[in-house]
Chains A and B, each alone.
Chain A
Amino acid sequence: MEGIGYKILGAVLTTILAFVVGMFYGGFSRKITARIQNRVGPPVWQNFLDVLKLLFKKTSVRYGFMHHIAPLWMISMSITTLMFVPVLNDGLFFTNLNFSGDIIFLLYIMVMGSLGMALGAGSTGNPNSAIGVSRGLTQMVGFEIPWVMALVALMIQYKTTSVTGLMEVQSQSGTWLMFSSPFAFIAALLAMPGMFRYSPFDIVGAPSELASGPISEFGGKYLSTMMTSGSIFAFVKLTLYVDIFMGGASNLIVLVLKTFTLYMYPVLWGTVSARFRTEQSVRYFWGWPTFFGFIALIYAAF
């Protein structure tokens, strides 16, 4: 009985942690972008104010069932994903629900949030949303391939299909997978900016081109739910990368440092680059990242 109580408490704590850390990451990235552009920039807690304000807005738009469900779908998928990613190596609270085979499960569940967004955006009937969704799915076909290849390579190489299994491999051998299987890491790292949708891969929600794409008809509470979900999901993705390639983290400070370092890579790349077109983005992902994915597979098999 006590075990279940701890699990539930751990789940709640993890969700709150993911929300707060994800929100602050968003704020820091806005601040850093501003400093690079020689501006002062908003305070780092600006994203909290935005979410709060959007929650207080009234909503009088009705587009049917899927429009209401989409933000809830997204946030529940983010939290579900969070539940299967071990946040800390071994703690009482933050280990969550792992089982053998959860990498395969994660591969599926990580795209479910985008699917909900696609369905919701489709039901609004806005042409910008439809274009945004089609671009998003195309881009997903791009970056999922090197990412899946990297993970499959790791699964073959270490004969485990669970995240905790990979973490154990790292703690036993003492080196991070980043160094012991470098090609998989390079492939996954090159695929990563596509997941975060900063420039040059912000073709989905391009503000001036598509009027923010899929979310163009979502305002108020819907948008605030989506922002919350987005920040939780950013934390999840970063934690997953840290778990798999950088040996996980034994306490929260190490975790925050590692994930923040990793997070800076798409953000900084984003500040210095302009937006790709859809086919340029897909061509990028099917170029060097997929090449390194192949090498990783070969490296793993022999």
Chain B
Amino acid sequence: MYNDKESQKIVDIIQNYARKHSLFILAYGTGCGAIEIPPTMTSRYDAERFGIRGSATPRQADVLLITGYLATKSLKRVIKVYEQMQDPKYVIGFGSCTINGGMYWDSYNTINVLDKYLPVDVYINGCMPRPEAVIAGFVKLQKLIQQGKADGWDIYKKNIDEYKANQKKIITNWVMPDFNF
């Protein structure tokens, strides 16, 4: 009786409401776009009014913010960090570099399409995106969470073989456990 669809729906609504309004972000700020994070969080644009708050460790974080290009070396660290985060977790690709490589599209040591290696929920385009765009991206993520569509973490679990194959193609010296969960 308590597990039927109607009560599950109510639980989902409460769950999604709480998740939506409390996003702890972990900024992986190695790309140049990371310079836009401080203005987004501080006085002028104040992302905290949406319940967005920085978190210090992957264990507490909900959103992984990847700010721009990823060198193949740092991709390894990002995968580690992503897998240490607890479900449900979301990834925001920040800047054109994460979408198609941006101005580093023909570089020998950056990846081009982030979505091949990690499931991206929301992309924010621009090189670099202004704080308004970043906040718009967060609002978009909140909408997706409300509708229950931000399920990149689920997709990652289901297609883990595919993602792992892609990751291993890029990272040649894979000296870490296969899974860091």
Contact = CB atoms under 8 A, between A and B. Distances in A.
A50 B23 CA distance: 8
Count class of interface residues, chain A: 20 to 34
Contacts of A208: 56
B19 A56 contact: yes
B60 A39 contact: no
B151 interface: no
Nearest to B48: A42
Contacts of A53: 18-19, 21-22, 62
B51 to A, nearest CB: 6
Contacts of B61: 219
Contacts of A59: 86
Contact of A41 (B42, B48, B60, B86): B48
Contact of B57 (A39, A52, A57, A217): A217
B18 A52 contact: yes
Given A40-B49, A41-B49, A46-B51, A60 B86 contact: yes
B30 interface: no
Contacts of A219: 57, 59-61, 86
B114 to A, nearest CB: 24
Contacts of B62: 53, 57
Contact of A49 (B42, B48, B51, B86): B51
A100 interface: no
A223 interface: yes
Nearest to A33: B48
Interface of B: 14-15, 17-19, 21-22, 42-43, 46, 48-49, 51, 53-57, 59-62, 86-88, 181
